[in-house]
Structure 1
Amino acid sequence: MDITELTVRRDGVFSAREALECGVSSSTIQRKVAAGEWRAVTRGVYLVTGHARSARAQARIAVLSVHTDAVLGGAAAAWWLGLHDAEPRKHIVFTRTRGAARRSSATALTRYRHLHDADITEYQGLRVTEPALTVLDASLDLGMSIIDSTLLTKRVTVEALDAAHTRYPRRHRATRAASYLRLLGDGARSEAERLTVNLLTTGGVSGWIANMPAFGYIIDFAIPHVKVAVEIDGFAFHRDATAFRRDRLKRNLLVANGWTVLNFTWTDLVERPTEVVEEVKGALHRAAS
């Protein structure tokens, strides 16, 4: 591959090492920079003049600026792999190199992690973490929803997530990731009830009944004197068409009989508990007035 083809494929970004591998000499690099054809965006990393410094270009710059062994991870890797839509605000870059040999960069948040080869892949010419580890790391910034969505689309499996977590038990915020994984197991339903009971109790909400029968269904948390129902949606990857239809019929029947139905997700319970309680209180106030 020559340097022109490389720059076309790599969003206009390349390293000095890559240029040399394409047969470009050090003197030619210096000449093209001096002539304004290439622009040094950080030490040893160049952008073709006139090429947009796009989000994709910025991700490449972040990785190339750190070290030759650098790997894009976290939410930025999730975006690069097409697991998440939002362009990253920061680029977490992993490297096996410690100390002065590891370059600093204004574009990358560098973290030392000795990644296993099984957790590194190259996608569209950029070294990134494999999907399972990517999803685990990204969930710490994006929340549980990315775990659920990628399980639903079968981009990852629970087994792969567990294996990736086990390989790095002491990594940054591993405890939080472990708590997410525990929620995926068979005890998810009971854990949802425990979390909701705790939220309602500490939030000062009274008069509720857990698992109350009504109209041939079971309301997760019912406040019958004001006809408010709190329903906890299960993980999407566990749901099938039958479960979806059953929940929709239950909701429609409750609403037809004068109930206010509030639906919350796992992400709501774990990451937005205050908002959950306030929404329940708001519904109680409106129902009582």
Structure 2
Amino acid sequence: MAAALWTAGWQDGMVTYEQALGAGLTRGQIRQLVRTGDWVRPFPGTYLVAGADPFLGRVHAALVRRPQAVVCGVTAARLLDLRALPALSTSEPIHLLITGSAARTAARGIVLHSGSRAGTPVWWRRGVPVTSVTRTLADLVLAWDRPEAVALLDAAAHDRRFRGVVEVAAHLLGRRGAAARFRWLAEVDARTESALESRLRLVLHDHGLRPPEAQYAVIDENGRSVARADFAYPARRLLVEADGAAFHGDHAADPEPLHRDRDRQNALSRLGWTILRFTWSDVLTRPDHVAAVVRHSLARP
């Protein structure tokens, strides 16, 4: 058993059937480990031992029968530590890029993508091959809807994961659905600091209310910074913010963030600024309401 666990330790808790046998376990012992739940079989011929990383172990397991495959899509994005990704679930499939001549049948829980790897450098993360950042971004831009795709690109641009959207565009050329996606690349803004900001910006843009300023600093008469807002319409002294769940902190445990927020709001009011805040719920379920509130504030004398 110790030899099998040692092998699994090099593979984020994954061991193959052949490796387990080679480590001295019998077929009966392997069946018993699975039966008791000590080992879990993610895909045929592979096992996750107790304490295995459920995501990374499954990635290793998915590659066992396809040594020439490269991890791609959202699986690669997670290994590359890209932001603005959906929450990871235990049922999320592992995405692999294969060449056109490779067999396309896969075990349940593995999604195969057939395509060329020409011009696509292979990176290595946690001992597995993954598509590069720009290729991964291009793949997800083609697979996702506009709000999710732009938020992903905003986050990568903000984190300086690529030099310019032209690098992503190079991986879109000639691919099905790419024409519409090129327009999305023009909407990327590296100043954006969260996925909610990205979504809010698109809502405003789509309603003809594109903010002229982002990450705008309000300065008082003494030259001191009073606040920095996500979006601003300086001519109308209107600020718009994406109000994430953790914006104000835990008031009971630490009232200081609330006090700072009140001081900030009072200072802005004294300087003649109005600030509007919108939550995830507002942006996702009431985009027309968000636009109407902003439009009304801009129209005030």
* TM-score computed with the length of structure 1 as normaliser: 0.59
Q: 8 Å contact 2:72–2:130 — kept in the other structure?
A: yes
Structure 2 residue matching 1:95: 3-state secondary structure: strand
- Cα separation, 2, equivalents of 1:209 and 1:46: 52
Question: CA 1:87/1:231 → structure 2, altered by over 3 Å: closer, same or farther?
Answer: closer
Q: 8 Å contact 1:15–1:44 — kept in the other structure?
A: yes
CA-to-partner distance for each residue in 1:62-107, whole Å, 9 max, x for gaps?
x326732222222232222222376534335233245882332221
Q: Compute the displacement of 1:124 (Å).
A: 0.6
User: Match of 2:238, as an amino acid?
Assistant: A
Q: Residue in 2 aligned with 1:268?
A: none
Question: CA 1:97/1:170 → structure 2, altered by over 3 Å: closer, same or farther?
Answer: same
User: Match of 1:72, as an amino acid?
Assistant: V
CA-to-partner distance for each residue in 1:135-191, whole Å, 9 max, x for gaps?
333453643233222222223221xx5234324424464345422322349xxxxxx
Question: CA 1:96/1:197 → structure 2, altered by over 3 Å: closer, same or farther?
Answer: closer
User: Match of 2:55, as an amino acid?
Assistant: A
- Cα separation, 2, equivalents of 1:278 and 1:34: 58
Which segments of 5 or more consecutive residues in structure 1 lack a partner in the other structure? 186-192, 202-207, 234-250, 265-271
Q: Residue in 2 aligned with 1:239?
A: none
Question: CA 1:167/1:150 → structure 2, altered by over 3 Å: closer, same or farther?
Answer: closer
Structure 2 residue matching 1:69: 3-state secondary structure: coil
User: Match of 2:60, as an amino acid?
Assistant: R
Give the alignment of 1:210-221 within 5 angstroms: 220=233
Q: Residue in 1 aligned with 2:261?
A: none
Percent identical residues: 18
Q: Residue in 1 aligned with 2:138?
A: 136
1:278 has 2:289 as partner? yes
How much is the aligned-residue C-alpha RMSD, in angstroms?
4.9
Question: CA 1:115/1:209 → structure 2, altered by over 3 Å: closer, same or farther?
Answer: closer
- Cα separation, 2, equivalents of 1:42 and 1:252: 59
- Cα separation, 1, equivalents of 2:106 and 2:10: 25
Q: Residue in 2 aligned with 1:55?
A: 55
Looking at secondary structure, tell me which structure has more helix per residue: 1
Q: Residue in 2 aligned with 1:189?
A: none
* TM-score computed with the length of structure 2 as normaliser: 0.57
Q: Compute the displacement of 1:8 (Å).
A: 0.4
Question: CA 1:106/1:66 → structure 2, altered by over 3 Å: closer, same or farther?
Answer: farther
CA-to-partner distance for each residue in 1:180-232, whole Å, 9 max, x for gaps?
322349xxxxxxx999576149xxxxxx9989xxx99xx6486x6xxx83669
- Cα separation, 1, equivalents of 2:10 and 2:119: 24
User: Match of 1:79, as an amino acid?
Assistant: R
Q: Compute the displacement of 1:57 (Å).
A: 2.2
Question: CA 1:122/1:103 → structure 2, altered by over 3 Å: closer, same or farther?
Answer: farther
Which segments of 5 or more consecutive residues in structure 2 lack a partner in the other structure? 190-200, 214-218, 221-231, 243-264
User: Match of 2:117, as an amino acid?
Assistant: L
Q: Residue in 2 aligned with 1:12?
A: 13
Q: 8 Å contact 1:16–1:45 — kept in the other structure?
A: yes
Give the alignment of 1:1-289 within 5 angstroms: 4-15=5-16, 19=19, 24=22, 30=27, 32-36=29-33, 40-48=41-49, 50-52=50-52, 54-61=54-61, 63-64=62-63, 67-84=66-83, 87-89=87-89, 90-91=92-93, 93-98=95-100, 101-116=103-118, 118-139=120-141, 140=144, 142-158=148-164, 161-171=165-175, 173-184=177-188, 199-200=207-208, 220=233, 229=238, 255-262=269-276, 275-282=286-293, 284=296
Structure 2 residue matching 1:127: 3-state secondary structure: strand
Question: CA 1:51/1:102 → structure 2, altered by over 3 Å: closer, same or farther?
Answer: farther
Question: CA 1:180/1:195 → structure 2, altered by over 3 Å: closer, same or farther?
Answer: same
